[in-house]
Amino acid sequence: MKTLILGSNSAIARAVAEILAQRGDTLYLASRNYEETERFASHLKIKYGVKAYADRFDATDYDSHGPFVGRVLERMGEIDRVLIAFGYLGDQERAVRDFNEARKIVEINYLGAVSILTHIVPYMEERGKGVIAAISSVAGDRGRGSNFPYGSAKGGLSIYLSGLRNRLFRKGIRVITLKPGFVDTPMTAHLNLPKRLVSKPERVARDIVRAMERGGDVVYTPWYWGVIMGIIRAIPEPIFKRLNLR
């Protein structure tokens, strides 16, 4: 299998890449930090003896997305699976007062994914097969006062993926919405999170790989987040607005 991983320097993406490399996948890794991506690709090639390409990808450099996909196809020949793993939590308080920060959150988490998919989807439609998996978040299930700029962008991404899944289902292409809960990554290191609900990237990565290989439409990871968010979505708004949920 040939897998494209966008945002490949994130902790979750790296854990996914390790699993796929161990299974013999050819990997195309891309992120804004090309030097770090290249080092990680070299690590995978040496450790697992697989082909691993490195490239630069910026989610908000929309004009570069078309040429980027062309470069991927030129180097790998085909794309079997795509994992969109880039994201930006942002500064909640700053985003409420500074549109530039709010725009950055929305552009990276939502518009960047939409942009790159407009170049990948036509290729997969013509080919008639493939897997598109994108990391959304449980934060997108309901607006919460503590992170609604980020949550709104992830919620938009989840709805976009839902529509894309509906469009591509009969064309043999699977679209998977991945919804992790709290994960122990550099992006969340500064947050005061309930330790019992924080998962390691490796745990989430195993769920992601399982979903890409065996199927699934909307995957909460770990699984219990589906139950938690079901309860949160069911709380009436007059009560919900009085709660202080992270």
Q: Active-site residue numbers? A: 150
- Tokens 């009560």 belong to residue: 239
- Tokens 């449980």 belong to residue: 138
CA 57, 58, 60: angle at the middle one, nearest 5?
A: 150
Nearest to 3, CA basis, from 60, 68, 58, 53: 53
Q: What is the DSSP string of 91-135?
A: -HHHHHH-HHHHHHHHIIIIIHHHHHHHHHHHHHHHHT-EEEEEE
The rounded distance, in Å, linking the Cα atoms of 165 and 229 is 21
The rounded distance, in Å, linking the Cα atoms of 117 and 102 is 22
Q: With beta carbons less than 8 A apart as the criterion, state whether 127 and 78 touch.
A: yes
Taken as a whole, the chain contains a residue count of: 246
Q: With beta carbons less than 8 A apart as the criterion, state whether 139 and 154 touch.
A: yes
Please provide residue 186's backbone torsions phi and psi, each rounded to the nearest 5 degrees: -55, -30
The rounded distance, in Å, linking the Cα atoms of 182 and 191 is 10
